[in-house]
């Protein structure tokens, strides 16, 4: 594809190379070292977080976050249905049962209406996973009072939302723990990696312990708990330190891309820009549109764009529609059907790579408008 969805974007200044070179020069290639420690410290300082643990992926971070919140075999965990499977697979790792919650139409994030319905049947879930979808914050003003009424711990999945804010507070800080992702397509990347944001040193030490195979402080290898090989390597953490230096640049470019699409689509009756939340500053990781008033289907438009060497994809297929989760409970905010299924069937993720020239974004927008006007 000539025009792509997000791909890794290293800094022009070469910050990443400096930190990687230091790791090699000092022979610290293992999942510990200065880069790991400083990446955590620098992220804490940037976000205003309390503590952070650098891990091998966002999914690993969710797994250990759920474990830290006490999720065990047979527990109920509420999770947004409209998300990537990495948000909910760790529920199964814990032996717990996911219960899926519908979306609100504005942001695509968890619906307060559907959440209330879920609590009527399951008043005591062990945890709630709230996702900041495509970099747009969830509706925390309405969600948090509902959840606090039931004293349910919150894991905030901000994997797609680093650098975004809700009411002036960085995303990742709205839960009892928060998760970031540095996968190759994220706003900054370590190739693969993630981070768990926690509230104190005791929690951090416990997560580090689990992530390094739960090894006791003995000369020999002593294990009293099941552990995991989840710690981020010192080399990849070096990439992360360099990327963090250009995070604001990446957020600014993502917002420029979104604004370019929005301005271009203003006069088109067939398109709505997706992902709005009051009092928020989304990072606009992915620009997404929803089709309306047209007989053109999302997949038809996607196929047309692929033929023109423009990479797009459907919005996330809701988890309650996935074969692997077909037996899980789901709560819709509607009487018939669901909002998240409607979004999935009508929405398209557009090229949002920070290396893309805005002229190419204009070209993509024109392709879409011309096709819809011709075929609607």
Query: CA 122, CA 104: separation in Å to the nearest integer?
Result: 20
| pLDDT one-digit tens code per residue, 40-71 | 999 999 999 999 999 999 999 999 999 999 99
Task: Name the segment(s) of the chain with CATH classification 3.90.1150.10.
Answer: 248-375
DSSP character for 231?
B
Instruction: Please give the pLDDT value at position 58.
Output: 98
pLDDT of 339 higher than 90: yes
| φ, ψ for residue 298, nearest 5 deg | -55, -45
The one-character DSSP state at 197 is: E
Are 22 and 143 in contact by the 8 Å Cβ rule? The answer is no
Closest CA to 232 of 155, 163, 171, 180: 180
SS3 of residue 105 by DSSP: coil
- C-alpha dihedral, 161 to 163 to 165 to 168, nearest 10°: 160
Of the pLDDT bands very low, low, confident and very high (cuts 50, 70, 90), residue 31 is confident
d(CA 205, CA 193): 19
Distance, CA of 257 to CA of 363 (rounded, Å): 12
Q: Tell me, what's the pLDDT at 65?
A: 98
The single-letter DSSP state of residue 361 is: H
- In the chain, where does DSSP find H-type helix? 15-25, 34-47, 58-68, 89-93, 112-121, 140-149, 201-211, 234-244, 247-265, 298-307, 339-346, 358-375
Residue 317 DSSP label: P
The answer to whether 243 and 261 are in contact (CB under 8 A) is: no
* pLDDT score at 1: 75
In whole angstroms, give the CA distance from residue 179 to residue 130.
10
Q: Average pLDDT of 349-358? A: 98
User: Tens digit of pLDDT for each residue in 159-199?
Assistant: 999 999 999 999 999 999 999 999 999 999 999 999 999 99
- With b for 16 or more beta-carbon neighbours within 10 A and e for fewer, the 73-104 pattern comes to eebbbbbbbbbbebbbbbbbbbebbbbbbbbb
> Percent of the chain beyond pLDDT 90?
99
Note the pLDDT tens digit of each residue in 290-304: 999 999 999 999 999
Name the fold adopted by 248-375: 3.90.1150
* CATH assignment, 15-246: 3.40.640.10
Q: How many CA atoms lie within 13 A of 328 on its CB side?
A: 29
- Give the whole-angstrom CA distance, residue 105 versus residue 75: 29
pTM reported for the whole predicted model = 0.97
CA distance 236 to 308: 35
The segment(s) of the chain belonging to CATH 3.40.640.10 are 15-246
* Lowest-confidence region among 24-33, 154-163, 326-335, 347-356: 24-33
| Per-residue DSSP letter, 284 | -
Q: Give the model confidence (pLDDT) of 73-112 as tens digits.
A: 999 999 999 999 999 999 999 999 999 999 999 999 999 9
Question: How far is the C-alpha of 242 from the C-alpha of 237, rounded, in Å?
Answer: 9
CB 32 within 8 A of CB 234: yes
């Amino acid at each position: 594809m000539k025009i792509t969805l997000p791909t890794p974007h290293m800094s022009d200044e070469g910050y990443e190379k400096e930190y990687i070179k230091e790791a090699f020069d000092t022979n610290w290639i293992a999942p510990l070292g200065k880069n790991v420690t400083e990446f955590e410290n620098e992220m804490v300082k940037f976000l205003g977080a309390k503590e952070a643990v650098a891990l091998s992926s966002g999914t690993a971070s969710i797994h250990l976050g759920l474990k830290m919140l006490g999720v065990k075999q047979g527990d109920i965990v509420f999770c947004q249905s409209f998300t990537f499977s990495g948000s909910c697979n760790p529920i199964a790792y814990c032996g717990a049962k996911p219960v899926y919650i519908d979306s609100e139409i504005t942001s695509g994030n968890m619906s307060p209406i559907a959440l209330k319905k879920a609590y009527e049947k399951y008043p005591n879930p062990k945890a709630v996973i709230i996702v900041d979808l495509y970099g747009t914050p969830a509706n925390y003003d309405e969600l948090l009072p509902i959840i606090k009424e039931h004293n349910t711990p919150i894991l905030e999945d901000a994997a797609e939302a680093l650098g975004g804010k809700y009411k002036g507070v960085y995303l990742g800080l709205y839960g009892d723990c928060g998760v970031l992702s540095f996968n190759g397509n994220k706003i900054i990347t370590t190739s693969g990696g993630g981070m768990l944001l926690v509230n104190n040193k005791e929690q951090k030490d416990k997560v580090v312990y689990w992530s390094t195979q739960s090894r006791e402080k003995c000369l020999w290898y002593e294990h009293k708990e099941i552990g995991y090989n989840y710690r981020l390597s010192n080399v990849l953490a070096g990439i992360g330190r360099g990327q963090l230096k250009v995070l604001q640049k990446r957020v600014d470019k993502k917002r420029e891309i979104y604004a370019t699409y929005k301005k271009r689509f203003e006069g088109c009756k067939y398109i709505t820009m997706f992902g709005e939340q009051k009092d928020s500053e989304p990072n606009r990781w992915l620009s997404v549109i929803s089709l309306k008033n047209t007989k053109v289907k999302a997949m038809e438009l996607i196929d047309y764009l692929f033929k023109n060497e423009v990479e797009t994809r459907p919005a996330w297929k809701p988890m309650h529609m996935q074969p692997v989760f077909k037996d899980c409970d789901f709560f819709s905010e509607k009487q018939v059907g669901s909002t998240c299924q409607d979004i999935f069937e009508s929405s398209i993720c557009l090229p949002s790579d920070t290396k893309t020239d805005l002229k190419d974004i204009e070209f993509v927008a024109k392709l879409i408008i011309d096709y819809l006007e011709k075929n609607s």
